[in-house]
């Protein structure tokens, strides 16, 4: 499925951290990009896209479409060769998780996929799920390895109300609904399950995932248990993986996309050795011993993809980006 230059692709969620970076890389590769946003007139929301180089922006079309409105993507999907579906509610602090996070994640995905089927032009869809749809089985065992056969236990998340559970449930049910829909309608769907995304960004504020990774620096110590054992992927490696899977005719099914598994001690060593100006806590014994786990990206690697960035690269690029934007 080698894509010719200037073929048109639709990107949802393009005003976010990952989506904006993906639009940039697609334009650089010669694609024409149809970027779906809630409000094209909201200059602040679309500024990362509007700020792209003029020579690239001539192949960028910003269109209005709402995941929550049935049929809203029917027109914007017409004429597109492919779709990268990234849009998903990410606000954890909501009054009604079912209504505000889970239902939009599932129904919004089905609205996009239904538009792809109606279009008759869409050849492949890259559905961006998450490691969150894999990780939370409720069974903590030592040296656990997560691969594409693993699924988050939705009932466990709901019953135990683990931090972030609406997002985990929304991503899991959204992915399952997408896979079932694609099977029923013979739609070429490839799923990507990235771990936490760290590195540079185009937004004016620090993206949530990067902010989580920088908790040792920003002083948000309540996030440190979350970082006790974490799996990471660099922003650029992730969007390259999206495009790689879109263009590779052999790609099928689910793909974990995670480059590094690391403890918070490793993160402390990276920051303290390279950035002594940051006074970070080093006595973290109170966090206890994390359960060791790994995300297995071997399926993606067997297809020929290679990760370019180390964990140190991720921290360096994120910190450099924050300093350049006056955010650190």
Catalytic residues: 171
Count CA atoms within 13 Å of residue 96 on its CB side. 5
Give me the helices (H) in the chain, please: 17-28, 43-50, 54-57, 74-77, 97, 103-119, 132-135, 154-160, 165-185, 208-213, 215-218, 224-227, 235-247, 264-274, 298-302, 311-324
Instruction: Please state, as a whole number, how many other Cβ atoms lie within 10 Å of the Cβ of residue 170.
Output: 28
Q: Is 82 in a helix, a strand, or coil?
A: strand
CB contact at 8 A, 247 and 312? no
Q: Is 69 in a helix, a strand, or coil?
A: coil
CB contact at 8 A, 43 and 55? no
For the chain, the distance separating the N- and C-terminal CA atoms, rounded to the nearest angstrom, is 43
How many Å apart are CA 322 and CA 327, to the nearest integer? 5
Which helix H or strand E contains 311, and what residues bound it? helix 311-324
Tokens representing 143 are: 């040296």
């Amino acid at each position: 499925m080698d894509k010719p230059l200037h073929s048109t692709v639709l990107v949802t969620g393009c005003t976010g951290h990952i989506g904006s970076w993906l639009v940039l890389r697609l334009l650089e590769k010669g694609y024409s990009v149809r970027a779906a946003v809630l409000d094209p007139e909201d200059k602040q929301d679309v500024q990362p896209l509007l700020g792209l180089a003029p020579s690239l922006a001539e192949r960028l079309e910003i269109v209005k479409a709402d995941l929550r409105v049935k049929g809203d993507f029917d027109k914007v999907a017409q004429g597109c060769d492919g779709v990268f579906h990234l849009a998903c509610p990410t606000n954890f602090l909501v009054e009604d998780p079912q209504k505000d996070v889970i239902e939009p994640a599932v129904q919004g995905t089905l609205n996009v996929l239904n538009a792809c089927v109606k279009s008759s032009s869409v050849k492949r869809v890259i559905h961006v799920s998450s490691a969150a749809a894999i990780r939370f089985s409720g069974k903590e065992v030592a040296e656990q390895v997560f691969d594409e056969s693993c699924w988050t236990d939705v009932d466990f998340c709901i019953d135990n109300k683990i931090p972030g559970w609406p997002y985990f449930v929304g991503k899991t049910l959204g992915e399952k609904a997408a896979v079932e829909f694609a099977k029923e309608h013979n739609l070429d769907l490839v799923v990507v399950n990235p771990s936490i995304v760290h590195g540079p960004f185009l937004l004016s504020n620090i993206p949530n995932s990067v902010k989580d990774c920088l908790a040792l620096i920003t002083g948000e110590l309540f996030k440190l248990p979350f970082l006790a054992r974490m799996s990471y992927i660099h922003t650029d490696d992730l969007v390259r993986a999206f495009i790689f899977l879109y263009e590779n005719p052999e790609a099928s099914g689910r793909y974990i996309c995670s480059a590094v598994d690391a403890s918070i001690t490793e993160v402390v060593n990276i920051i303290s050795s390279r950035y002594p100006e940051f006074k970070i806590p080093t006595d973290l014994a109170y966090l206890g011993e994390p359960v060791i786990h790994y995300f297995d990206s071997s399926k993606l690697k067997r297809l020929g993809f290679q990760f370019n960035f180390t964990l140190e690269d991720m921290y360096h690029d994120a910190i450099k980006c924050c300093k350049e934007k006056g955010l650190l």
